[in-house]
Amino acid sequence: MKLLLTVARRRSNLRWICHSCHGIKHATAPSYQAGKLSQASQQLREGGPARTRFAPSPTGYLHLGSLRTALFNFLVAKATGGQFLLRIEDTDQKRTIPDAEERLYEDLKWAGIDWDEGPSVGGQYGPYKQSERTALYRDHAEKLLDSGSAYRCFCTPERLRILAEYQSKLGLPADYDRTCAHVPKEESDDRAAQGEAHVIRLKIPDEKNSLVFRDLVYGFIRPKSTVKRDQKAQGSALTLFDDPILLKSDGFPTYHLANVVDDHLMKITHVIRGSEWISSTPKHLAMYQAFGWEPPAFAHVGLLLDKNRQKLSKRTGSIDISDWQNKGVFPESVTNFVALLGWSHNTGSDVMSMEDLISNASMKYTRGDTVVGFEKLWFLQKRHAARYASTQAESPYDQIPSHSLVQLAVKPVLALLNQPSTPSDFSFYRNITRPEDRQNLVQLLVFADAQNYTNPTEFIRRNAYFFTPPSAETLTATVPAFKLRKVPAPYLDKFSLATVTGICQTLVNIPDHSWDEHTIRTYLAKMVSMGVEITMKNSEGGVETGKKMEALKLKVEKSWAGLIYQYLRWALVATKPGPESQVTMELLGKMETSRRLSAAEEVLNQVKIESIVEEIEKV
C-alpha cells in the first residue's frame, strides 16, 4: 500500500472540523499573551537578583509536591536574573535510597528545571552535597558551643525514652528538660574528650519574641509557646525546652544545622518550601541569631491535597514525576500544571510555557492547602499539543528539540503502534509496509488532531479508524438519520441515498497524484453544488425571487454540505470525532477512501435505508 503523503506538503495552518457542526475551525495557539506585569511580578523583580535553592533529601523520588517546590524556586531565580541552586541534603544516610539522587537529576532535567549551581555543574559555594560538607557543620556546631548558644547533651537514649514516656502521659510535647545545659563547660569538654557519646543541642532563647518572623505567604508567625503554662496546669515540676539537636552522636549534622549553615554560606536570599517546615523556621532563626547572620526571606507554600482533602498519596495521584513522563505527559504540561497549584496570576490564560511562567513569575502563592484535580493536567496537555502543532507544522521527523511534538507525541504513538502487542486487527496500519509511510501517517495525524492529544494509548483509541477500517457491524450500528436540514418544504423532493453516494463517487475522479487535502476540498465544494442544483430544480414552483432566492440558495448549500459531510464521516470513520473529512481522506489515501465508501454503500444496501429523512422548515 502506498501512501501518497509527505510532511513537506502540509500547510502550516492546521484546521480541524468540529464533528457536530461541520464547520471549519482554525486552530489557534493558546490565548496566552505576555502583557503588563502584575504588581506582584513587578515587586519580585524590584527586589533584585534572588538566589534560591531546591534542597531535596534523596530519600524518595521527585513527586508533584517536590517538583512544585523546585519549580517555584527556579522561577523566582530566573525571573529576577538570579541563580537557582540544587543542594542534596543527604545527611540521613539510613533513609537514603540508592538511585534517588540520579533520578532527581534526570527528572529535574526532563522538567526543564536546570540548576546554575549544584552537583555536576559545580559553583563557587560547593560542594553541593551535604555528606561532603560534614567537617563544616562540625566546625559551626563548635562555634555555637564556644559562644554558649549550644551545649552538649550526654543523656542516654534510655533516659530520653523514659522522659518522653513521662511527658506523653502528662500530655506534654516531647521536648527536652535541659538537664545537660547545666553541665559546666570544662566537664562537658572533658567528657567529650574521653569519647563519651553525646549530641549538641541549640539553646533556644527563652525570649521568643525575637523568633517571630514574617512569612511572605502566611504573614507573622510566632514560635510554639513555651510549655510552662501547660506544666503548671499539670502541676508538674518539669520544665521543657524546644532545644533541637544540631549534631548527632555520630558526628553528622541534623537537617536544622546543615540547612541553615548551607543557606547562609551559599548566600540564599529566598527560601521557598512546603508549609510542613514552618514550625522549624523559628529554630532556624534562633540559629541565625546565634551565629549573628542575616536570615533569608521565607515563603512557605501549602500542602497538596486530594479531593477528600487528604494529603496526596500515590493512590490519589502523587506519583513520581517519571511516571507522568512514562504516561506521555509533556514536561511543559507538568510544569504548567504544578505552577498553578497554589499560585495566582492574572495573565488571562492558564496555558503557559516555561518561558511564560518565568516572565510572569511572582510570589503570589495562595495561603492554605491546595486541592489537586487532574482534569486540568489533561486540559493543559491538549493545549500544549495544539500550541506545538501550530508552531512546528513542518517539523522534520528526526528533529531533536525536547519540546517538539514529533519527539513528545509522534514517536511514542509510533512506538506503541509498532509493538507486537498492538491489536492485530489494525489491518490498515499493518498493511503499510514502509516505515517512512507509517511515520508520515502518524505524524500527519498527530499534527491534525493535536488539540485532542493526551497520551499515546488514548490517542490511538480516539483515532482507531486511521489504523483499521470500521467493521460492517459498526457501520450498521451507527447509521445516522441522514437529513437535508432546514430546506423549505416547496423545494424538497424525495431523495434516494443513492443520490448522495452517487455524488460521493465524484471523489474517484481526483487523479492519484493530486489526492491531497486541498484538491479534496475543491471536489467537496463541487459535490455540494451538485446537490444544490438538484434541489433548486424544484424552485420553479416556488415563490422566491431575487434576494430571497439568494438566501434560499445559501440555506440549501449549507444543508447539502451538512449532508455530504455527515455521510462521509459515517462512511469513513463510523462518525467518530477526529480530524476534518478532507484531512481524513488525505491520510487514508485514495485507495482506502474508495474502499471505505464502497463498503459503506454495501452496508446501506443491507439495511435498506432508501430515502433521506426530510426535515421541513416552515417558511
Give me the active site residues, please: 314
Q: Which helix (H) or strand (E) holds 102?
A: helix 100-110
Query: In degrees, to the nearest 5, what angle opens at C-alpha 60 toward C-alphas 357 and 94?
Result: 140
Q: How far is the CB of 75 from ligand GLU (least distance, A)?
A: 16
Nearer CB in complex with ligand GLU: 57/167: 57
Task: Report the candidate in 535, 515, 534 with the shortest Cα–Cα distance to residue 523.
Answer: 515
Residues ≥6 apart with Cβ < 8 Å to 93: 131, 252
| CA 73 – CA 598 distance, rounded (Å) | 61
Nearer CB in complex with ligand GLU: 273/384: 273
Q: How far is the CB of 218 from ligand GLU (least distance, A)?
A: 16
Grid cell locating 223: 514560635
Query: Strands 199-202 and 245-247: what pairing?
Result: antiparallel
Task: Report the candidate in 599, 557, 222, 263 with the shortest Cα–Cα distance to residue 428.
Answer: 599
Q: Are 318 and 324 in contact (CB under 8 A)?
A: no
Nearer CB in complex with ligand GLU: 277/379: 277
Q: Are 503 and 530 in contact (CB under 8 A)?
A: yes
| CA 207 – CA 230 distance, rounded (Å) | 17
Contacts with ligand GLU by CB under 6 A lie at: 55-57, 89, 255, 259, 273, 277
Query: Which alpha helices (DSSP H) does 453-580 contain, by range?
Result: 456-462, 472-478, 497-504, 517-536, 546-573
Grid cell locating 88: 542534596
Q: Are 312 and 304 in contact (CB under 8 A)?
A: yes
CB neighbours of residue 111 within 10 Å = 22
Q: How far is the CB of 268 from ligand GLU (least distance, A)?
A: 10
The residues that bridge with 43 in the sheet, in sequence order, are none
Residue type at 296?
P
Q: How far is the CB of 68 from ligand GLU (least distance, A)?
A: 12
Q: How far is the CB of 262 from ligand GLU (least distance, A)?
A: 9
Nearer CB in complex with ligand GLU: 211/329: 211
Nearer CB in complex with ligand GLU: 89/177: 89
Q: How far is the CB of 132 from ligand GLU (least distance, A)?
A: 16
| CA 463 – CA 388 distance, rounded (Å) | 19
Q: Tell me the CA distances in angstroms from 75 to 301, 482, 617, one per residue in order.
A: 14, 55, 59
Q: How far is the CB of 303 from ligand GLU (least distance, A)?
A: 12
| CA 65 – CA 343 distance, rounded (Å) | 13
DSSP secondary structure letter of residue 373: -
| CA 267 – CA 575 distance, rounded (Å) | 62
Q: How far is the CB of 471 from ligand GLU (least distance, A)?
A: 55
Nearer CB in complex with ligand GLU: 187/276: 276
Three-state DSSP at 72 gives helix
CB neighbours of residue 464 within 10 Å = 19
Q: Are 582 and 589 in contact (CB under 8 A)?
A: no
Nearer CB in complex with ligand GLU: 253/531: 253
Nearer CB in complex with ligand GLU: 56/578: 56
- Give 165-184 as a DSSP string: HHHHHHT--S-B--GGGGS-
The residues that bridge with 152 in the sheet, in sequence order, are 200
Q: How far is the CB of 93 from ligand GLU (least distance, A)?
A: 14
C-alpha R_g of the chain: 34
**127 preceded by cis ω (within 30°)?**
yes
Nearer CB in complex with ligand GLU: 255/465: 255
116, with CB counted inside 10 A (0-12, 13-18, 19+), is: middle
Q: How far is the CB of 52 from ligand GLU (least distance, A)?
A: 10
Nearer CB in complex with ligand GLU: 272/405: 272
